[in-house]
Amino acid sequence: MKNIFPTPSRRESQSPRPYEPEPQTEIASIEKRPERLPEWASGAAMLPRRRNADDFLACYWEFIHPLFPVLHKPSFLKQYQTLWANEQEPELRDIDSLGLEELIFTATLNLVFALGCKFSNLVAPAQKNSMSDEFYQKSRHLLLFEVLDSTSLSLVQMMCLTGVYLQSTQYANRCWNSVGLAIRVAQSLGLHLNEVAGKKIPQLEREMRRRVWHTCVVLDRCVLSPAGTVATTRHID
Q: How do the domains of the chain map onto residue ranges? A: 43-222
Out of 72-81, 82-91, 134-143, the most confident range is 72-81
Choose between 7 and 62: higher pLDDT. 62
% pLDDT > 70, the chain: 66
Is the pLDDT score of 220 beyond 70?
yes
**Residue 206 pLDDT more than 50?**
yes
- What is the tens place of the pLDDT at every residue in 84-128? 875 544 455 555 556 788 888 999 999 999 999 999 999 999 999
The mean pLDDT value for 45-59 works out to 91
- What per-residue confidence (pLDDT) applies to 173? 84
Q: What is the pLDDT of residue 53?
A: 95
Does position 45 have pLDDT exceeding 80, yes or no?
Answer: no
pLDDT of residue 183: 93
Give the chain as a DSSP string.
Answer: ----PPPP-GGGGSPPPPP-PPP--PPPP----TTS--GGGGGGG----HHHHHHHHHHIIIIITTT---S-HHHHHHHHHHTTSS-SS-----GGG--HHHHHHHHHHHHHHHHHGGG-TTS-HHHHHHHHHHHHHHHHHT--GGGGG---HHHHHHHHHHHHHHTTSS-HHHHHHHHHHHHHHHHHTTTTSSS-TT----HHHHHHHHHHHHHHHHHHHHSPPTT-PPPTTTT--
pLDDT for 59 beyond 90: yes
Choose the weakest-confidence range: 65-74, 138-147, 201-210. 138-147
